[in-house]
Structure 1
């Protein structure tokens, strides 16, 4: 008589279900500060997923996604204060505007590879930050855009005043976008992107227009970053040039490296770990004022101890479940 235990796929499904249940139950067991932090982590994770699409999936390391995050945030803030407080419309408009901005900038960036591409995206991010500071008639300069009304998820619904309700809205949007990008990973388009990452010359040789593919994923990543920026406005109800700055871009790339390039779940885990390291551990009395130093040490440790990132961590064989007779 034989008995089988759950294999690796079943264990992953169980862990994902447990995580989803924990996230859904969080508003009922956590305080306002913890719920606000969790909302910000989910928004940051969407930005990190957009970086993953370029860096992990296509092999294009980027420091420019904060530009589209900032464009989406300012667009959503302007729409919320001048047009409508409906959250879905804010997200759609923010994603569309960010994608439109990504078309010309991406056309320029995807013509390069490696360090040159990285520097071009860094320049794009710095241009966006400078525009946010100096275009005062639209962005209000360094004072930022404030007075943003509470978000209304769908037409006819009430405005979300409580942190727990805003968190549920953020979780719903995150889940929908995460599922959408996950479905993308199983398409021939994603396989072509992996081919570009692994051997672009061979992909060119067999007839794939690799620049077009790279531009398409660049614009898609820009739209996702813009949607994350729009969601950020719903959480913060404030946006400033710092939201389009280098620090956000560097943290997002760091999260992808720590999580494991090529793994979307690892990217989300890296986003949570990086954000908590910066905002929670960095504010402890023992390391007060040394948050950047802590992040730097953490990055060096992760590179040497986890060369494949969090996604590459495997339990010892004696702790893993196997099919037994």
Structure 2
């Protein structure tokens, strides 16, 4: 019976027959996209490079949420709490101790993991609406703390004066260098989440998502697996928050608020929950509408995002990732028709 979980982990939770392309062929699109991202600062203006960096930061945050929503089946409304904890931790360490990039990323991830471990122990014992409300309460508590602890967080004014991030003792002052640092951390974070989702642990998480009573009858502990996923997601969200502090050099309570978490959930739904790469595209849409097109929309960015969301729900119920599934199904049908005499 446990072979079911192993099969699920090997296939990433997908079902269906047919031959699959080799690992090398499947890696080609990822390599091409990575090369384009690395070369982006050479062809983009500094502002466009900065926007692309913000997309990567928000994408890593959205992918961490997708580990809960799409892989584990735990829709969270308070995931921004760990993003905010990571951002404030990185900002405070940069001001008071050191602005070395590796240190900031590590302490931000550790802070996110500790916060998730402290709150997830209670949250993952619930499910459905109760889990949703508990995570929302956690997010609201963290948001209120960021606004009231003026001496630590700067209150409603935010934490400002964060120095430029350093790598090997050299301050990264140009937009392109900061972007490459963000890109490197994003690739590492995304790869870590992808490995988790494709591991036996990821297979067990999908099994719990699809049929928790059956997984419990097979000897698995849903609480332990959910708790591990919650902590991992919190750690990566903290890393994303640290990257935000590194790039923007200003952290406000908004980063830990409901709006940020809701936008991340919107990115997951737009991209396709459970695909990991889909939320990256969803995050790109959210950031482009909010940051790049926001000034030209005269404050109507949220309205446009709402319209995009409604259209996506009706036209792309499985998000952008669903388009890839449709394309694969069409190719399989064509291949089957060619083999049919």
TM-score (norm: length of structure 2): 0.88
Cα distance in 1 for residues equivalent to 2:311 and 2:292 = 19
For residue 299 of structure 1, the aligned residue among 293, 305, 309 is 309
For residue 179 of structure 1, the aligned residue among 191, 213, 223 is 191
Correspondence for 2:300: 290
Correspondence for 1:228: 240
Contact 1:76 1:233 in 2 (8 A): yes
**Shift, 1:9, TM fit:** 6.5
Contact 2:60 2:240 in 1 (8 A): yes
Change (3 A) 1:87 1:321: farther
Correspondence for 2:9: none
Change (3 A) 1:207 1:85: same
**Shift, 1:72, TM fit:** 0.5
1:97 and 2:111 equivalent?
yes
Map 1:201-220 → 2, pairs under 5 A: 201-220=213-232
Task: Give CA deviations for 1:75-122 in whole Å, capped at 9, x if unaligned.
Answer: 001100001111111111111122111112111111111122111111
**Shift, 1:279, TM fit:** 2.1
- Three-state SS of the structure 2 residue aligned to 1:150 is coil
**Shift, 1:252, TM fit:** 0.3
Correspondence for 1:3: none
TM-align CA RMSD:
2.2
Cα distance in 2 for residues equivalent to 1:19 and 1:99 = 29
**Shift, 1:186, TM fit:** 2.0
Cα distance in 2 for residues equivalent to 1:129 and 1:321 = 53
- Three-state SS of the structure 1 residue aligned to 2:165 is coil
**Shift, 1:24, TM fit:** 0.7
Correspondence for 2:52: 38
Cα distance in 1 for residues equivalent to 2:257 and 2:199 = 33
Runs (5+) with no aligned partner, structure 1: 1-5
Contact 2:272 2:279 in 1 (8 A): yes
Correspondence for 2:143: 129
Task: Give CA deviations for 1:155-199 in whole Å, capped at 9, x if unaligned.
Answer: x34110000000010001111111111111221111110011001
Task: Give CA deviations for 1:19-40 in whole Å, capped at 9, x if unaligned.
Answer: 1111011000000110010111
- Three-state SS of the structure 2 residue aligned to 1:302 is helix
- Three-state SS of the structure 1 residue aligned to 2:211 is helix
TM-score (norm: length of structure 1): 0.92
**Shift, 1:315, TM fit:** 4.0
1:310 and 2:320 equivalent?
yes
1:253 and 2:255 equivalent?
no
- Three-state SS of the structure 2 residue aligned to 1:211 is helix
Contact 2:67 2:197 in 1 (8 A): no
Contact 1:282 1:294 in 2 (8 A): no
Cα distance in 2 for residues equivalent to 1:130 and 1:271 = 26
For residue 139 of structure 1, the aligned residue among 135, 153, 162 is 153
Contact 2:51 2:292 in 1 (8 A): no
**Shift, 1:253, TM fit:** 0.5
Cα distance in 2 for residues equivalent to 1:63 and 1:8 = 38
Contact 2:76 2:131 in 1 (8 A): yes
Count residues in correspondence.
316
**Shift, 1:269, TM fit:** 1.1
Greater CA drift, 25-34 or 95-104: 95-104
For residue 29 of structure 1, the aligned residue among 24, 30, 43 is 43
Cα distance in 1 for residues equivalent to 2:133 and 2:179 = 35
Correspondence for 2:177: 165
For residue 65 of structure 2, the aligned residue among 28, 33, 51 is 51
Task: Give CA deviations for 1:199-248 in whole Å, capped at 9, x if unaligned.
Answer: 11111122111111111110111111111111111100111111111111
